[in-house]
Amino acid sequence: MRIKLWLLIGLSPMLLSCSNDDDDDDDSGSDDKYNNGVFISNEGPFQGGNGTLSWYDLSDKSVTNDLFLSEVGRPLGNVVHSVHVFDEYLYIVVNNSGVVEVVEADEMEHEMTITGLTNPRYAQGISEDIVAITDWGTNTVEIINASNSSGVASISTGNGPERMLLNGNTLYVANSGGFGLDSTVVLIDITSNAAVDTFYVGYNPNSMIIDANGALWVLCGGYTDWGDPSNNLPGSLYRLNATTGAVQDTFQFGDAPRPTGLCTGPVQQEMYFLDNGYGGNPYRMSYTATELPSTPMVTGANGYAIGLDPRNLDLYIADPVDYASQGKVYRMDVVSGAMLDTLNVGIIPGNFEFN
């Protein structure tokens, strides 16, 4: 459960290192069986040490749970926070264990384990050999060379660097506040591995998209004081000039919602998000809208995370149920609005990646 994760994450810096798994270099004749579906990261019960990876196969509509365990032969670890496919690799970010597992995406062959991280959150591929990883424990983006398993650069950000967005040679990093507050997006030049600008938005930005006109949209979750609700700060949605950071429009949520998961489709004319990452409903909004949508796409979703498959415009909504038993994922056709099916996955499904 997200709020509980903040209480016990170690903050001491660690020396970044990577290890290759030389035992997994043999070609065993796998047949690219994981190239038409969805990877789903399941956090697992807090400090249970048993986060998992699920696979939903679009070809036969089947779900395979505990995929990493069955293919690699060992568990993933404590809090499997997110997954990211880039080039041929799947990066599996294991938050409280401080590692990122790297596997060949289509065949699930283990390539390496990136270690020495404190509290990794998300990965973003930069080029064939380079991946960026946000780390809450050090408030940095770590740049890793996957070809030789070495650290390239450590770039300071704001508090709680979260999701990233790659746009040309610019990597946008949303600083979600971590254990407190932040209102910035840091811009990193990936050719020099240096922070070159800072954009100012609402409280605790967590996700971003670029629309069809090239504008940068930033969804800000606001701040929740679990001990004193009078200190709560509202969420917001900003539209910015992606080059200068000039604010083009601002949309304010009410006091209660904690919006999250901003995503868009291939034509970049509509965006989708949850109004509350602790049991919210999905909303759709046009990039030309002048106000926030008032009617959800579906009610009662108990949404924890959201993702849009750009291949077929299916929307995936993660439901953690009670945060202790098997979670569910609802699959929805955003064109027709029909609910397609319900997938039974691991405990606390939290992020999606389409392969």
**pLDDT bracket for residue 179 (50, 70, 90):** confident
**pLDDT bracket for residue 146 (50, 70, 90):** confident
pLDDT of residue 2 exceeding 60, the answer is: no
Q: What integer pLDDT is reported at residue 148 of this predicted model? A: 72
Q: What is the domain count for the chain? A: 1
- In which element (H, E) is residue 54 found? strand 52-57
Q: What integer pLDDT is reported at residue 88 of this predicted model? A: 92
pLDDT of residue 11 exceeding 90, the answer is: no
CB of 38 closer than 8 Å to CB of 316: yes
Nearest of 63, 18, 15, 14 to residue 38 by alpha carbon: 63
b/e map of 105-142 (b: 16 or more CB within 10 Å)? bbbbbbbbbbbbbbbbbbbbbbeeebbbbbbbbbbbbb
**How far apart (Å, rounded) are the C-alpha atoms in residues 248 and 175?**
20
pLDDT of residue 315 exceeding 50, the answer is: yes
**pLDDT bracket for residue 31 (50, 70, 90):** low
Q: Tell me which amino acid residue 338 is.
A: A
Span 193-220, pLDDT tens digits:
999 999 999 999 999 999 999 999 999 9
Q: What integer pLDDT is reported at residue 12 of this predicted model? A: 35
* DSSP structure string for 86-100: ETTEEEEEETTTTEE
The domain in which residue 32 lies consists of 2-354
123: CATH = 2.130.10.10
**pLDDT bracket for residue 48 (50, 70, 90):** confident
Q: Residues 102-113: what's their mean pLDDT?
A: 95
**pLDDT bracket for residue 8 (50, 70, 90):** very low
**How far apart (Å, rounded) are the C-alpha atoms in residues 162 and 122?**
6
Q: What integer pLDDT is reported at residue 256 of this predicted model? A: 65
Span 215-236, pLDDT tens digits:
999 999 999 888 888 888 999 9
Q: What integer pLDDT is reported at residue 19 of this predicted model? A: 45
**How far apart (Å, rounded) are the C-alpha atoms in residues 181 and 76?**
30
Q: What integer pLDDT is reported at residue 47 of this predicted model? A: 66
Q: What integer pLDDT is reported at residue 14 of this predicted model? A: 35
